[in-house]
Amino acid sequence: MRDEASLCCYTIILPLILFFNGQYLAKEDIAVSPDDRGFLFADGLYEVVLCLAGRPFCLRDHLERLEKGAAQLRFSATGFGWLEEVVAELLQKNDLQSSDALVYMQVTRGAAPRSHPFPAGDTPLTVYVTVRPFDQEPARKARQQGVAAITVADQRWARCDIKSLALTANILASQQAEEAGAFEAILVRDGVLIEGSHSNFAGVRNG
């Protein structure tokens, strides 16, 4: 049986098979080390990719950003082109090769005794990838009918070009929107609308 979980305005079904450190495993068979720096420090990166009818949208662009982030964080490995094959394999293993889906990719610096400086040597990275069915109908209705949003001061760190796992400010903003009865919190920095706490933002002025 697949577990169900609510995400924003739609329901997802958690996948049966995931990719974790070179293996395709059931979710219940995955064990993350308590010394993993992603767990201890949020010392990692992530990407979310939309698949339309089984085709990942701009996957190479996402992987390029992942590689740039890994280089800037000085990970022991920075090449992730091989994840294209992993995504294709996961779509097939979860019978989503012709369906709309979301791909989540996460890479951390790996497991090492807790210390703020990087671990010595080339610590193996922790790589986790999952795919999930995605129902676009709620999003379509939201675009047609509109949703409520609030504005919140952008209190995230200054390096938002690095897609870090550290999302505490996003979580707090999203919770503030939830408590206000709004769908999203638009982050504002120096009078400029930046993006949503969990979504992109674009606007049209003067028609």
- Residues 51-81 pLDDT 10s: 999 999 999 999 999 999 999 999 999 999 9
Q: Quick check: 6 pLDDT over 80?
A: no
Catalytic residue, from 68, 93, 141, 163: name it: 163
CB 27 within 8 A of CB 13: no
What CATH topology corresponds to 4-136? D-amino Acid Aminotransferase; Chain A, domain 1 (3.30.470)
Q: Is the pLDDT of residue 151 over 90?
A: yes
Q: Give which of 123, 131, 160, 103 is closest to 36, Cα–Cα.
A: 123
Q: Round to whole Å and give the CA distance between 119 and 109.
A: 9
DSSP string for 119-167 = PSS-PPPEEEEEEEE---HHHHHHHHH---EEEEE--S-S-TTS-BS--
Give pLDDT tens digits for 170-187: 999 999 999 999 999 999
**When comparing pLDDT for 5 and 142, which is higher?**
142
The three-state DSSP-derived secondary structure of 7-26 is: ECCEEEECCCEEEECCEEEE
Mean pLDDT, rounded, for 192-206? 90
Q: Active site includes 163? A: yes
- Asked if pLDDT for residue 1 goes beyond 50, the answer is no
> How wide is the angle at C-alpha 51 spanned by C-alphas 49 and 56, nearest 5°?
70
Residue 10 has pLDDT above 90, yes or no: no
Confidence of residue 3 (pLDDT cuts 50, 70, 90): very low
Does the structure show a pLDDT above 70 at 155?
A: yes
Quote the tokens at residue 142. Answer: 């939201």
Q: In what order do the strands lie in the sheet with 23-26?
A: 23-26, 17-20, 126-133, 101-108, 44-52, 55-56
- For residue 49, what pLDDT is reported? 98
pTM of the entire structure?
Answer: 0.88
**pLDDT tens figures, 20-56:** 999 999 999 999 999 999 999 999 999 999 999 999 9
- pLDDT above 70: percentage of residues in the chain: 93
pLDDT at 153: 97
Residue with tokens 């049986």: 1
pLDDT surpassing 60 at residue 14: no
Domain limits of the chain?
4-136, 147-196
The mean predicted confidence, pLDDT, of the chain is 92
